[in-house]
Amino acid sequence: MTTEPTPTLATALTWLGAARVIELGHRLEDGMPCSPSHPGFKMSLLRRHGDRVNAEGGSGANELIVTGGHVGTHVDALCHAASDGLMYDGVDAHSASVGGRFTVYGVETVAPFVSRAVLADIPALLGVGRLEPAFGITGRHLADALAGVTVNEGEVVLVRTGWPQLYDNPVAYVGTETGVPGITADAAVYLADLGVRAVCTDTIASDRLLPGRGHASLPAHKVLLVDRGVHIMEVLDFEELATTGAREMLFLALPLRITGATGSPIRPIALVGETR
């Protein structure tokens, strides 16, 4: 017996079938940009075709992958950050991590992200191709970039800086000496007050990084992860998305269910299409 989709489902499937799918993540590959706070990515073939061949002439190949949970395009679990020894909602960070993994707020508890998202294109707002190193994005910048667009509770905000234009130069992208543009504590408070579930950025650390300071100070991480329980996604790429002119889209990202981990690689996508 064949069941026809309900009218609502049929409408959704029609929209999805016509939507443009845009990759928002970077490929995982040796030598890609990586924060000095985390191990890099490494993949190597352990078995190649021909190393072992069965009686029927068949062979298999496989690899070993070594990476940190915050390498490449990824999501931060709430256990990733603490302040004065306490994580979100006052949970003691030390006792929660005894045994080599977190017993609360691990990335396996992060549900898939399937929601509406809105793009705050800061370079477009300011009339530049990309933001200058160490540029601080404020709440005022975000409010102006999102003017005319409603942000509902539980949705996702994508903050574009244009920094992925430097992604093929890992030293420039990480920006230890030059600094990196990013959100300030003021901007983090503004976003949390909107009630968003996650903030996505296209830089190595989301926070504004000052020249020569690296990751020494990450106040936006404290506001979002520790104070307000808002997830952060980093190292995304909004360059193609920005060319579409879309300000709202369907956003999907699925964390790997790694028990007790502080973060996970993700493959985020945006689906852009007609809204009427």
Residue 105 lies in a domain: yes
pLDDT at 275 over 50: no
Residue 10's Cβ-count burial label (10 Å; 0-12, 13-18, 19+) is: exposed
- pLDDT reading at 74 higher than 70: yes
CATH code: domain of residue 81: 3.50.30.50
Q: By the 8 A CB rule, do 232 and 46 touch?
A: no
Q: Note the pLDDT tens digit of each residue in 24-53.
A: 999 999 999 999 989 999 999 999 999 999
In this structure, is residue 77 part of a structural domain?
yes
Q: In which band, very low, low, confident or very high, does the pLDDT at 274 lie, cut at 50, 70 and 90?
A: low
Greater confidence (188 vs 276) lies with 188
* Residue 2 within a domain: no
Average pLDDT, the chain: 95
Between 18 and 173, the more confident residue is 173
Q: How far is CA 216 from CA 11, 26, 138, 209, in A?
A: 49, 25, 20, 8
Number of domains in the chain: 1
173 membership: H or E segment, kind and range: helix 170-174
Query: Which pLDDT does position 4 carry in this prediction?
Result: 66
For residue 238, what are the domain limits? 7-272
Q: Is 186 within a domain?
A: yes
Residue 1 maps to a domain: no
Residue pair 25/237 in contact (Cβ under 8 Å)? The answer is yes
Residue 154 clears pLDDT 70, i.e. is over it: yes
Note the pLDDT of residue 3. 63
Pairwise CA distance, residues 83 & 89, whole Å:
11
pLDDT at 19: 87
- 195-239 tens-digit pLDDT: 999 999 999 999 999 999 988 899 999 999 999 999 999 999 999
Q: Band the pLDDT of 7: cuts 50, 70, 90.
A: confident
